[in-house]
Structure formats: structure tokens, C-alpha cells
Structure 1
Amino acid sequence: MTRGGSPFACGEPTSAAGHGESTSGQRIDVAVVGAGIAGIGMGVQLKRSGRDDFLIFERAGDLGGTWRDNTYPGVACDIPSQLYSYSFRPKPDWSRRFAPGAEILEYLRATARDEGLEPHLRLGEPLTGARWDDENGCWCLTTPRGEYRARALVMAAGRLSEPRIPAIPGLETFTGPAFHSARWDHSPLDGLHVGIVGTGASAVQLLPEVARRAASVTVFQRTPAWVLPRGDRAFAPGEAQPDRAELAAEAERLFDARIAGSEALARLRATAETHLREQVADPALRRALTPTYELGCKRAVFSDDFYPALQRPNVRLEASALTAFDEGAAVAASGARYGLDALIFATGFETARPPIARLVTGRDGETLAAHWRDGMTSHASTVVAGFPNLFVLDGPNSALGHSSAFEVIEVQLGYVLGALEHLDARTDGTPLEVTADAEAAYEAEIARLAADTVWVRGGCSSWYRDEASGRLTLLWPARVAEFRARYGVFDPAPFVRAVPEPAGVVTPS
């Protein structure tokens, strides 16, 4: 019997369904929801640790998450390629310093293929509901193909999966194509008058490409972004690529620039100001592009061609938000009106209130969305009180404002493996459920760590913080090394029923 394949009480056993077949009550040890970076990484680590009794559910017809969905022209990572990959699966031949989106997607596909995950993937099978069955100690899952019962549930849906489109009065009267950057319409834009809503990370990447094709581009800027130099380039054939550990250490040092009032922050802001001054000669345009909040309060972006693109003769910056459509014209907050043929929303995602949380119901009949009514909470950014044997990857307070998402995700993968080891050792089948006190203490600790950061004191509103409560709910507000030191080894003490460390078990880090 493989590890993780031990029987557990979870309803009546049935024969396992094959890939793509309907199922009714199929029993599995671990269910993973989402086949992006976190879900694929979880599958790899389950497989490498000898656990074969798991399935990865993905609503789309392919894996890849963010890098499957975002196919807009110019899409690429803004973290160095070597750091934006699994440390346990390095890629020695990235094409560029910052990998293009298609190359990252192929890296994830190759990882799934080479690590033997394909038999475990359930592509095109979205989760439609998950309910904790306290009597049988398992999660009851539903999909369009049937029902599953899982001892443990790992949510790996990520933060960048649900596009956010603002409510624009009259938008329904616009007759041209209107789409989000993560749902790119690949119809030609040549010769069209195009509007781009937003000036964040996606807009900064796609504007230069769109401007080369469109007759004109109007960029609606509600709030300017701090733009830092990118310095991207292709690697020469045979060139030695940067060392991942060195890149991680360099990124860790950037955390100093996330402390409000620090010298490191002042130096970084000076770099951004110099970049703007050197690339934009017109004082009026420079003023319109200069943020009034502190650098890092919102996500800083990296580009060497965004400012030049804004100064092309066919591009206009509208330094106010798009507020309405009236008689076919796009109307800005300034009162200016624009005739457009196509509209692109580069307006981000539903990050603080993930819609999938509505589908997950815990011990007392409360959904995860209701539990998070005042903003996402957790312990160790991974477990939630009232939701036994549930693990959330890349969710509450697990993003980073100074380094790669892979860094925290990998710590979480080790934490989940350690938790599964403890579940295996519980011969009476009792689940792991973190206490409400531990969750509250973690929330207080996040607030303490965040108090002096630009995310709290930077003078802006951002997707890092919950709109209702104002709490910092997306970011881990400290260095990766501190997260790893605290949660790199699973600790059962904060759980409802703690057990001793099983003899002979080495908890993964």
C-alpha cells in the first residue's frame, strides 16, 4: 500500500472512476483544487513523497493557471526566471532574464508530464461544492462528473483566477469588443481605436505591443503606478544563468525598502523618479505619471518601454478613470469623450474575496466566504479554524511584495506534507483542525508585522488589503526566511487535538 492510501471512514467505498468518466462517491486521500503553480507543485511533492492517492481538479481544459489564462501580447514575468520556478525542479535554459508567459506555461506542462502527474489530473472538471462530513471525517466534493470523498482538501485556486471588471454605466451599449486582459480576444487590433483601462502590471506590458498595431490608443489612468527599470534581455547561447539562491538573497534584501521611512525605500523611490525623469521629458506628462502614494504601497511595476509607448504619437494618456459610455462614446471622469472601436480592461482580479470560497462549507455549516466576511484569515497562511483537513495554498497572507510567489508556496507544500504525516499517525482517524485562538493570534501577528510597512502606511488603497476591513490580507509582511523558520516544519500544537511527533517521521521542510 502506498503512503496516504490507508483506509479511512468516509461513506461507502466505490470503485475508482477513470479519467474523464463519471463518478459517484469515489474515495481519494487528497483532493487538490487548481492546476496552476501551487496545485502542480503540490502534486509533485505528493508524488515524490510516495503518495499516489490524489487527484488535481482543474476547471479549465489545460493546466497552468495564470500563465494559461494570460495570453495578451507582451505577457511575461516580472520576477527573474530562475526565481520564478520550483527550487526542486530548476530549468537551466530560460530564454530571457524575465521569462515570457508561454515559456512559463511550457515549464509547468513539462513539470506535470515529467513528474507523472497526468494520470492524477482532472482537467475540465470544476469544483461545484465541498462540504465537511463530520460523521465520516472527510470532505464530500461535487463536480459536474459526480461526487468524491477526500480525507484532505487542498485549495490551490490562487489569487489571479477571477478577472475583475469595474461596473461602467452604459458599457452594455458599447458595440465593439470589450474584454479583460486575462481573457484576451486575439482578433486583430490593427487600425482600430483602442481604449485600455488601467495602468498596472498587465497594462504596462501590453500597451507597447498594442500601440504598434492600433490606429490610436487611449489609456485611462485612475491612479498612476510607480515604474522601475526592468533591464530584461535574452540569454546568449551557452551563457551561464543566474544562481537562484543569489537571486533569492537579493530579493530578501529588497524587503528593507518595504519599511515606511527607511533609507532603502528612499533609494528605491529615487531610482523610480530618475527612471521617469529620464524617459519622460514633458513636465505635464511627468506630473500626471507621478504617484502621490509611497512606492510599494501598491504593486510597483517594471518596464523600460511603457513610458516611451505613452509618448508615441498615436497614444494618449487620459489621467482619470473611465466612468461611463454615452451615445457610444467613452466618457472619462475629466469629462473628456473618446470614440473607441475596442476596449481592454487591465483591471486586475478578485483577490481579497475569492469566489471559490463560497463553494467550501466547514464543520458548522459555515462557508469559507462567510468565515472570511471581514477579510481572509488563517493560521500559518494555510489552515482555517472550523475547516478540518483543509489547506489553502497561495491564499491569506501568502503573497509577497518583494520576492517570488514560489518562495512561500514551497514552504506551504512542506507544511501540508507534514500535516499529512500527522494525519497518518492518528490511528483513531481524528482530523486536524486549527483552533480559533491560533487563527486570531496569527491575525494579530500579521497586523503587528505589517504596522510599519508601506502596505499599511503608504497612503493608498490596494488589492493587498481587504476593502471592508482595511486589513492586510494578501501579503506576508516580513521576509521569506522568517516565514520558512516559523512554518517550514509542521507544528501540531495550534490544533484542536495535538498529538506527539510520530516516532521515526521526518517532517518535510
Structure 2
Amino acid sequence: MISKDIIIIGSGFAGMGMAMKLREAGRQDFLILEKADDVGGTWRDNTYPGAECDVQSHMYSFSGELNKNWSREYSAQPEIHAYMREVADRHRLHEVIHFGTEMTGATWDEATLRWTVTTSKETYQTRVLVSGIGGLHIPNVPELPGAETFAGARFHSAQWEHDVDLTGKKVAVIGTGASAIQFIPQIVGQVGQLDVYQRTAPWVVPKKNHDITGTKKTLLSKVPGGTRAYRNAVYWFNESTQLGFTGPLQGVTKLVEKKVTEYITATVDDPETAAKLIPDYRLGCKRVLKTDNYIPVYNRDNVDLIDSGIAEITPDGILGKDGTFREADVIIYGTGFHVTDAFQWVHVTGTGGRDLSKTFDEHGIETYLGIAVTHFPNFFLLLGPNTALGHNSVVFMIEQQVKWISTMLDEMDERGAEAVEPTPQAQRSFNDALQEKVEKGVWSQGGCTSWYLDSKGKNRTIWPGFTWRYWWTTRKVEATDFAWITGRRKADAAA
């Protein structure tokens, strides 16, 4: 058994950020467990054609690792992954990563006050367990009748099979989410026929992506403080858009809806197809997608948009619910990821034998600050429930969380506490206040069903406000919100 003071799961932005913060705080007794053979998380795994970020490059990066040389306003997957690898090299993170080691379970021992972590290779013991696996890593492949009988290639966009030649093929794309709107324009000129199966139309707004050149490039790469100033400007611009989702500027959001609708109507030649591309719910209820080249795809002769549903997949094609059979050589799922139900794949057992996924199923996906969970001592989540964003960079949220965890570890040291967990009252209070805000937002009132919502219709994904408010909320540890465990005796939370 390998023993470490702190174990981090995953080496994406979250895991890397936690590791760098621990080193900054002078903590060296930790390691990262990574199931793959490289760092990068979702930016290592998602290599489909056209994969790129929908948050500006200068904001979608570590604040302490600014990159003056981003090539585009919104970077593509290879450049983001390369950035992450460079940061990992600079901070010598490979020294503390156990690659090819997938966590299979973790159990809290109430006698030793330690976590036992089982993996695909070794067994580990640790005082503190930090989950940095994020929410976009388990592909969501719909269970469609007959799918297993399909004779051709069939894969999810997050598991792109690059050895499958799409040239001249009849390709069926199921889903029109964030990945699909990126890879569809990339493959449409290669395939013979492209059938796009849409369940719900997404709101698609102009991305206005561009190369960073000329004066702007000089400002960012040569002028002292230029990169930091630009990042700050991007941050506050992104923050301002939140007013359209929960604040007094919801009228502006309706104006954007009108402009997007007019753009689709003017761009797409066929009125019936254009109508299918216009959502029937409020902008922001689902993830708002950014692209410059998706909508015009539907003017091509080799593209059909089907929104009548799928009845069955056969060995050589797809039978629609409208009774129309369409041949297919390849099926590509652009159906996103398991998000609110992702904890079903996380086997974590806390005090009293409580299973994390069952606890969330029975009582709702509730945490304290999206980081800590009652009855799961010394277990911390990065990008946990209700800390994802629809308007700004999740890397900002990660940085607030790793700072809070570092502060918590210092607080534990000062108190001589071996373990800590939020009190049920504190967790209840945080979630009651959070859900009150969420229920007033467009995510709950916008007239859609999205992956933001759990099986009970509650938004367990999005932070319902400005990110600076999350910064304010996580700037310190509220000691009275926790049960502090010294040895096997719980200390007074108010001490």
C-alpha cells in the first residue's frame, strides 16, 4: 500500500491547479492519480475535428501562467493541450503523477481517519482525497433500439475514431450539442451525405473567432502588463453577460434571441429547415453555443436536418419516428456527457458506509460550496455541483476552489484536526440559498430540459450568479460551518 498525505484524482485543469497550489503552500507529500498516459483531461481526450474552446483563450488559462502567444481568440484543442503540457513541465508535475492508474473506489476508515483508495494498479492510503475529474468526461451515448446491430462504425465525438475514413460516406450525426456544432462543419465537405438528428435546437450565437495579429498581438506579447490587462477586460465583459440570465438586463437577452432568429431565417434558404433551427425556449436555459460556421451548413445539398426522432437503428441505417428510413455507413454521437448523474461512476464511501452516488440520488446532489460534502470527511470536489458556468471560465472557479482547500488544510493544521466535514446545517443552509437563486434564473424558468438539471428537475450544475461572488464566498473558511475531528473526538465546531 502506498501512503500519501494528499491524493488528487485527475490531471486536467482542476488536478493540475490543485497540485500547483499545494506546492505553492509548501506541501510536498501528495500525488496525482491519472487514468491516461498524459495530462490534459478533457483537452487530451476530445480530439474530434474542429474541437475548440468557447471561452476566450486569455481567460481559459491559469491566472499565474499567462500565455502571451495564444494564436486565436478562442483556441483549438491542440493549442490548449500543448499549453497544459507546458505548464505541467514547468512545474515538474510529472514527478508526482502516477499515469495509467484509474481510481476504482475510495472508502473512509473511521478508525484510522484515512481514505483507502483502490485503483487499476495499486492500493493507496491518504488523509485527504481531492477529486479533480470534472463533469465532462463520461460520454453520454443514448440507448437506442437496435444500435448494437449497426454494421458500420459507430462512436462518440469524445472517442473519435480517426482511422475511420468518412470520404464519400453516408454519415448520421445524432445530437446537436457543443461538440456537434464544431465537428459538423469540418466533415460536411468530406462526406457524401450528412443526416443530422436533432432533438432540441440549441441557441447558436456568433463566435467571431479570429487570429491574434497586428497591434493586438503586439499589445499582448510585448507591452508590460498587456496580457494581464486584456485578461481582466475579458473577465469583466464575460461577467456582464450574466446580467442577461438573472439580472436586470434580461430584455437584452430577448433582443439577442430576436437577432439570432433573424440571422437563421436570413441565412438558411429552406424556410422549413430554418424553423427547425430556431429554439422554442429562452436563451441561456441550455448551454449557449458559439460558432461562426454551423448554420450555413444547412444550405448544402448533402445535408438534411431531422427532428422527428429515431425509432430504431438497423444494420444499415436509421428508421425515423416519421417512418422514413435513411441509409448510414457511419454513426457519430454528438450527445454530450453524463453530468448530474456522473457520480454514479464514482465509488466513494463515507462515514457509516454511506455511498456518495446513493446519497446524492436519495437526498439530491448537494454539497457545501460545491467542494465539501457532509458525512464524507477530508473529501473535496473541484468543479463539483453548482460550480459550472454558462458565461465565464471554469478555470477561474477552479482557482478559487484550490485556494479554499489550501486554506482549509492550513486551518486543520492550526487546530490539530485530522479530519473535517461540513455540518448538515451548514450544507442545508448553503443549498437552500443557492436553489432559491437558481429557481429564479433562466435555467429553471426558460422553458427547456437540459443537462443542467437532475432527474428531479433541479439545477445541480450551474453557479447562479457572478463568479466574483463565488470568489467572495470562498475567500475564507467559516470555521463554525464544520465539525473538526481531532483523533477520534469531534472538536466543538465553534472552538
How do 1:196-215 residues align onto structure 2 when only pairs under 5 Å count? 196-215=173-192
State the shift of 1:200 in Å.
Answer: 1.0
**Structure-2 residue corresponding to 1:476:** 463
Amino acid at match of 2:358: A
* Counterpart selection for 2:106 from 123, 130, 153: 130
State the partner residue of 2:329: 341
Q: What amino acid sits opposite 1:159 in the alignment?
A: G
Aligned partner of 2:91 among 100, 106, 115: 115
* Matched AA of 2:339: T
Pick from 204, 219, 222 the counterpart of residue 240 of structure 1: 219
Alignment of 1:7-156 (within 5 A): 24=1, 26-156=2-132
State the 1:355 CA deviation.
Answer: 4.2
The letter of the residue matching 1:169 is P
> What residue number does 2:429 align with?
441
Listed as ranges, the gaps of 5+ residues in structure 1 are 1-23, 503-509
Instruction: Tell me the matched-pair count.
Output: 476
Superposed CA deviations along residues 372-420 of structure 1, whole A, max 9, x for unmatched, are 1143210111000000011000111110111111121111011100111
Task: Report the Cα distance in structure 1 between the residues aligned to 2:251 and 2:327, rounded to whole angstroms.
Answer: 46
Q: Which amino acid aligns with 1:197?
A: I
Tell me, yes or no, if structure 1 residue 384 matches structure 2 residue 378.
no
Distance 1:56 1:501 in 2: 33
The answer to whether the 8 A contact 1:151-1:389 is kept is yes
Q: What residue in structure 1 maps to residue 393 of structure 2? A: 404
> Does structure 2 retain, via aligned residues, the 8 Å contact 1:228–1:301?
yes
> How many angstroms does 1:264 deviate by?
2.5
Query: Which position in structure 1 is the counterpart of 2:475?
Result: 488
Q: What SS does structure 1 have at the residue aligned with 2:241?
A: helix
Once residues 51 and 137 of structure 1 are traced to their aligned partners in structure 2, the CA distance between those partners, rounded to angstroms, is: 20
Q: Distance in 2 between matches of 1:49 and 1:356?
A: 33
Q: With the length of structure 1 as denominator, give the TM-score of the two structures.
A: 0.90
Q: Which residue of 1 aligns with 2:347?
A: 359
Paired amino acid for 2:114: C
SS of the residue 2:430 aligns to: helix
Deviation at 1:138, TM superposition (A): 1.2
- The structural deviation recorded for 1:324 is 1.1
Structure 1, 401-410 or 343-352: larger mean CA deviation: 401-410
Secondary structure at the counterpart of residue 286 of structure 1: helix
C-alpha distance 152-480 of structure 1, shift in aligned 2 (>3 A): same
Please name the residue that 1:249 is paired with.
236
1:432 is matched with 420
Query: Normalization by structure 2: what TM-score?
Result: 0.93
Give the Cα separation in 2 of the matches to 1:196 and 1:109: 32
State the 1:353 CA deviation: 1.4
Corresponding position: 1:453 with 2:453: no
Q: Which runs of 5+ in 2 are unaligned?
A: 221-226, 485-490
Q: Is the 8 A contact 2:172 2:332 kept in 1?
A: yes
Moved more, 113-122 or 357-366: 357-366
1:96-123 CA deviation, whole Å, 9 max, x = no partner? Answer: 1100011111111111110121110111
Q: How does 1:225-236 map to 2 (within 5 A)?
A: 225-236=202-213
CA drift at 1:323: 3.0
| 1:316 maps to 2:292 | no
Please give the per-residue CA displacement for 1:415-453, whole angstroms capped at 9, x wherever unaligned: 1001110121232x4311111111111211111111221
Kindly tell me: are residues 435 and 70 of structure 1, through their superposed partners in 2, closer, same or farther at Cα, counting changes over 3 Å?
A: same
Please say if residues 357 and 367 of structure 1, whose CA atoms lie closer than 8 Å, have aligned partners that are also in contact.
no
CA distance in 2: counterparts of 1:60 and 1:326, whole angstroms: 34
Question: Which residue is 1:270 aligned to?
Answer: 258
Aligned equivalents of 1:319 and 1:456: distance in 2? Answer: 24
Alpha-carbon displacement from aligned partner over 1:136-179 (angstroms, at most 9, x marks no partner): 11111111322211110001111011000000101111110000
